[in-house]
Structure 1
């Protein structure tokens, strides 16, 4: 079979992800979470602090996180303790909690941001009628992890999604709860996403005495 003009190999094109680390990105530890918060507070980056806190709590994919509207997050003059969104990838609704730290940082950001319930919580700086792009969100995550001395190649937007889920799993071993929180349709997806292996299973078994 001959080559076509659509085949990148004859043109010696370099794949977009050449030289980058592929595969699951690492979740953050609690110490690293607080280090990033300290950095963002020191730099007075209200938007980024709110975005970071919400990313950790919501456990949403980047495309769903950046598309959140103010009305999804607030009720009256207060930030909701729980919210929900229909996932773009699956079309399934998922609920998430907004803890006190995230509510505080969100309230500070939204008071500065202004706008109505129909506006995006994190607008694009180029066009305020559109939301922050997933590419820009990824760049911000790179900045955050680099600021505390982590390797950018080992972390990404999925690190934000995995962080709290991983912490909950390590504390409880409850895969079904994690499946619900992440909005996975199959528990097998949750197992792969968390990177659960035989060592994790044995560790949990060893903690259980009969």
Structure 2
């Protein structure tokens, strides 16, 4: 795998992870209600959930790769279009972050399990990985090696992102409740997602 491909994957993953979704809303909800102690169990749960969803997606992608190069190419085109769709949807999301504080005392293990379930069992997670990961996979390279590198990288970033969100939500609560800040955040993230989708489509056209 080329270093440039890995670097592009890191950059794209970081952008996508930092955009608030159902998992991050759950992390923020616990942090708002129970403070910074929720950071570690929630981050572990999110990483385990992403590992589950990502592994299932990668296995499906691997099967498609072995079955047909044409189908794999079509999947890349669909993935690029999906990223553009997600970007437009996020750009139009406005300034709302629906995260209500969870004040009920919750054991760390239960928090971790909750984060795992929300992350792993969300159908959008698997759909997202199926659309996102093929953009970086070299179908002529060793698939298992690429799978290991991408998963390890993404899970490390997912853990750090969830941990960071929990700390920020517990320490800077006014930020996560500021509609203007969230609106700017969503529009910036949406623009980057659309750009990533268009860049991917351009790469497909150039091949």
Normalising by structure 2, report the TM-score: 0.29
Higher relative contact order (CA 8 A, sep 6+): 2
Tell me which protein shows more strand as a share of its residues: 1
Normalising by structure 1, report the TM-score: 0.29
Structure showing greater radius of gyration is 1
Tell me which protein shows more helix as a share of its residues: 2
